[in-house]
Amino acid sequence: MGSVKAELLRLWKWPATWVLIGVWLVMTLTFGYVFNYLALNGGTNTRDLSQQQLISAMQPENVGAAVVRGLPMFGGAIILVLAALAVGSGYGWGTWKTTLTAGPRRVSAMAGTLGALGIVVVLLVALTFVVNLGASITIASLEGWDWSLPGLGVFQALGASLLIAAMWTGFGVFLGVVTKGPALAVGLGLMWAIVTENLLRGVGSLLGPVESLTKVLPGGSAGNLAGAVGGSGAPGVLTDLSGTTAALFLVGYVVFFVGAATLLKVRRDLV
Amino acid sequence: MIVTTEKLTKRYGDRAVVDEVSLSVRRGEVYGFLGPNGAGKTTTIRMLLGLVKPTSGTASVLGEAPGTPKALLKVGSLIEGPGFYPYLSGRDNLRVHAARRGVGRTHVEAALEQVDLVGASDEKFRRYSLGMKQRLGVAAALLGRPELLILDEPTNGLDPAGMADMRDLVRALAAQGQTVLLSSHLLGEVEEICDRVGVISQGRLVAESTVDQLRGDTVLLIRADPIEKAHVLIEGSTLHGDVLHVRETDAGALVRTLVHADVDVQEVRPLRRTLEEVFFEMTGAA
Ligand SMILES: Nc1ncnc2c1ncn2[C@@H]1O[C@H](COP(=O)(O)OP(=O)(O)OP(=O)(O)O)[C@@H](O)[C@H]1O
Ligand SMILES: [Mg+2]
């Protein structure tokens, strides 16, 4: 489909795509391996994590958990920024105007954007996996641990990662279309992903109904799914819901965000 | 008929920005869509491309409903300045657009050549001068050889040389039979390159005709000595200070009459109302 090809071509050559993916990979490496490795070897004070826990977290076997735990909050925020920028800046650049007058129907144009963003986000998750696996194998070899490759369970963790990433992508696309610009979309999205849900969780400890609500908000659902497939020890990871429930909420969010964004895009005048 | 609209109307709130506009663009002509700032040109064009839905009225583009793939694929457009990815080169921007339009790479090179951008095609769009950006916009509009070219103020922001280039380009396209709908608030431009014009003012189409019809009949200005004798000799002439005005097209016959009667003819030229005068009369902007 021409629309996907076109959109992929321009995302591929967009420096922001690679900057964001690069920043994310550096972050996941730093927080997942570098600091743990230093703590393990610097030795004296590993805080509340036992040596055993540190080693386990860095084992190649547990790379699935390492990938998924970063996504509910910080990884999600980066994906949201990517999606919000990709969709929102088209309004200021006037490229939506060019896109919507090129030929394909609006639904196809939107599907092209979503498809290409989807491919980029799958790539991001795949790269996260590869980089984390590389780091864990390197550390395990350096330290001379007995290690083995992850079992089939890793696919569950990767599937969960993709679902979480899809939700944040949809959220970003939705914000980009609703606000018709990159700045507000990114601002609101980051605020929501990093600040608002955490504040609500704080309030939730005082108010029961708010607490139940926070579990099923976008970030809450993502955190619960990550927790259910073995992620732990990262901000945003929760264990209040079953994996299935959390996954169903995430699917609901994806459908809502993508559906609402597409409907708006198709119906609204572009001026 | 390439484009027709029937009482096309767009309201924002209770203000009709485009008010019952019925216009028609014929195959092979360069149609000038003329009006002052805020007259509703861009809004009309947006409706022809399906970007904006009309409040009422209908439009048909190449026999299709505006904004449908069938219509869009046969129309190339540049609306209110070019919209491209700033970080991509001119060529990559056209490739992206070509992929959307479903046309091959050879078209990209051809379009770059047509607007004389081959030399700068690998530079980032962000670094283009205003004129280059505008030309890239036209190149994108030309991709896939559309039957209709819609150019919304294509000379906007261009210097006189750039404007002349753009006019030459449009004229060259017209010479190949390309149908063009061109909006402008520059009368000279429309006068120079358009076959027919539609004049829009405050959302209403106040006139639609050929440039000549719009100007009205030709009047000759005659400067001669003695002027009173000339005035008597030429039937129907009117004296304006030291010159005569006469509604007449055969200048040769006039001059012969005067010379035979021993009147010195110093100047004979057509005194045509410029489109500008007509325009101000019609739009009440004077
Ligand atoms: N989305 C909108 N909401 C409200 N008013 C609008 C909107 N879009 C356009 N207008 C108004 O409609 C009028 C016509 O605008 P339009 O852009 O069609 O004019 P134009 O003839 O293209 O003018 P210009 O020569 O300046 O480009 C303007 O007064 C503008 O303020
Ligand atoms: Mg305009």
Query: Which residue in B200, B207, B185, B189 sits closest to B37, CA to CA?
Result: B185
Q: Which of A62-71, A226-235, A254-263, B105-114 has the lowest mean pLDDT?
A: A226-235
| Alpha helix (H) residue ranges in A182-237 | 182-190, 197-204, 208-216, 218-228
Report residue A47's pLDDT band, with 50, 70 and 90 as the boundaries: low
Q: What is the pLDDT of residue A240?
A: 87
B40 alpha carbon, closest ligand: 1
Which of B79, B87, B95 minimises the CB distance to A97? B79
pLDDT at B285 over 60: no
- In this structure, the strands spanning B30-34 and B196-201 are parallel
Report residue A198's pLDDT band, with 50, 70 and 90 as the boundaries: confident
Tokens of A235: 């901000």
The verdict on B95 touching A (C-beta cutoff 8 Å) is yes
Q: Is the pTM of this model over 0.80?
A: yes
**Residues B13, A122: Cα–Cα separation, whole Å:** 44
Who contacts A24 (Cβ-Cβ below 8 Å, separation ≥6)? A74, A75, A78, A124, A128
Report which residue type is found at B80: E
Report which residue type is found at B179: T
Tens-place pLDDT, residues B200-259: 999 999 989 998 887 777 788 899 989 989 899 888 888 888 888 888 768 888 889 889
Output the CA–CA distances (angstroms, integers) from residue B132 to A13, B136, B139, B180, in the order listed: 21, 6, 10, 20
- Quote the minimal CA–CA distance from A26 to chain B in Å: 24
Which of B69, B79, B87 minimises the CB distance to A15? B87
Report residue B187's pLDDT band, with 50, 70 and 90 as the boundaries: confident
3-state secondary structure A56-111: HHHCHHHHHHHHHHCHHHHHHHHHHHHHHHHHHHHHHHCHHHHHHCCCCCHHHHHH
Mean pLDDT (whole number) for B147-166: 92
Q: Which numbered atom of ligand 1 lies nearest the CA of B45?
A: 18
Residues of chain A contacting B95 with CB distance shorter than 8 Å: 9
Ordered DSSP codes for B205-251? EEEEEEHHHHH-S-EEEEEEESHHHHHHHSTT-EEETTEEEE--S-H
Residues of chain A contacting B50 with CB distance shorter than 8 Å: 100-101
Who contacts B69 (Cβ-Cβ below 8 Å, separation ≥6)? A103, A104, A105
pLDDT at B162 over 60: yes
Q: Which numbered atom of ligand 1 lies nearest the CA of B52?
A: 1
**Residues A11, A51: Cα–Cα separation, whole Å:** 42
pLDDT at B48 over 50: yes
Report the chain B residue with the minimal C-alpha distance to residue A100: B51
* CATH hierarchy code of domain B217-272: 3.30.70
**Residues A233, A229: Cα–Cα separation, whole Å:** 13
Distance of CA A194 to the CA centre of its chain: 12
Q: What is the pLDDT of residue A43?
A: 62
Residues in chain A: 271
Centroid of ligand 2 to alpha carbon of A68 (angstroms):
50
Tens-place pLDDT, residues B2-15: 999 999 999 999 99
In this complex, do A10 and B140 lie within 8 Å of one another by their Cβ atoms?
no
pLDDT at A183 over 90: yes
Only one residue has tokens 């280059």, namely: B132
- In this structure, the strands spanning B30-34 and B179-184 are parallel
pLDDT at A244 over 60: yes
Report residue A145's pLDDT band, with 50, 70 and 90 as the boundaries: confident
Task: Residue A27: give the domain boundaries.
Answer: 2-267
In 3-state terms, what secondary structure has residue A191?
helix
Q: What is the pLDDT of residue B286?
A: 40
Angle at B207 between CA B183 and CA B45, to 5 degrees: 30
Do A86 and A9 meet the contact criterion of CB atoms below 8 Å apart?
Answer: no
Element (H, E) at A250: helix A243-267
Who contacts B24 (Cβ-Cβ below 8 Å, separation ≥6)? B1, B3, B4, B5, B208
Q: Indicate the top mutation candidate among B19, B21, B37, B42 to test ligand 1's pocket, ranked by most ligand atoms within 8 A of CB.
A: B42
| CA-based radius of gyration for chain B | 23
Do B139 and A49 meet the contact criterion of CB atoms below 8 Å apart?
Answer: no
Q: What is the pLDDT of residue B150?
A: 97
Q: What is the ipTM of this complex?
A: 0.92
In this complex, do A101 and B75 lie within 8 Å of one another by their Cβ atoms?
yes
Q: Which of A53-67, A115-129, A153-167 has the lowest mean pLDDT?
A: A53-67
pLDDT at A46 over 60: no
Residues of chain B contacting A93 with CB distance shorter than 8 Å: 83-86
Centroid of ligand 1 to alpha carbon of B33 (angstroms):
15
* CATH hierarchy code of domain B3-214: 3.40.50.300
**Residues B271, B286: Cα–Cα separation, whole Å:** 20
Phi, psi of B261 (to 5 degrees): -90, 15
Q: What is the pLDDT of residue B247?
A: 81
The domain segmentation of chain B, as residue ranges, is: 3-214, 217-272
**Residues B247, B239: Cα–Cα separation, whole Å:** 12
Q: What is the pLDDT of residue B40?
A: 96
Q: What is the pLDDT of residue B240?
A: 86
Report which residue type is found at B19: D
Output the CA–CA distances (angstroms, integers) from residue B49 to A167, B150, B152, in the order listed: 33, 9, 12
Q: What is the pLDDT of residue A48?
A: 61
Cβ neighbourhood burial of A104 (10 Å; 0-12, 13-18, 19+): buried
Tens-place pLDDT, residues B125-151: 999 999 999 999 999 999 989 999 999
| Nearest 10 degrees: Cα torsion A81, A84, A90, A96 | 150
Which of B51, B53, B86 minimises the CB distance to A101? B51
Centroid of ligand 2 to alpha carbon of B185 (angstroms):
9
Q: What is the pLDDT of residue A49?
A: 64
Counted domains in chain A: 1
**Residues B2, B206: Cα–Cα separation, whole Å:** 21
What totals of helices (H) and strands (E) does chain A contain, helices first?
14, 0
Query: Which residue in B180, B194, B203 sits closest to B78, CA to CA?
Result: B180
Only one residue has tokens 């404007």, namely: B163
- Quote the minimal CA–CA distance from B188 to chain A in Å: 28
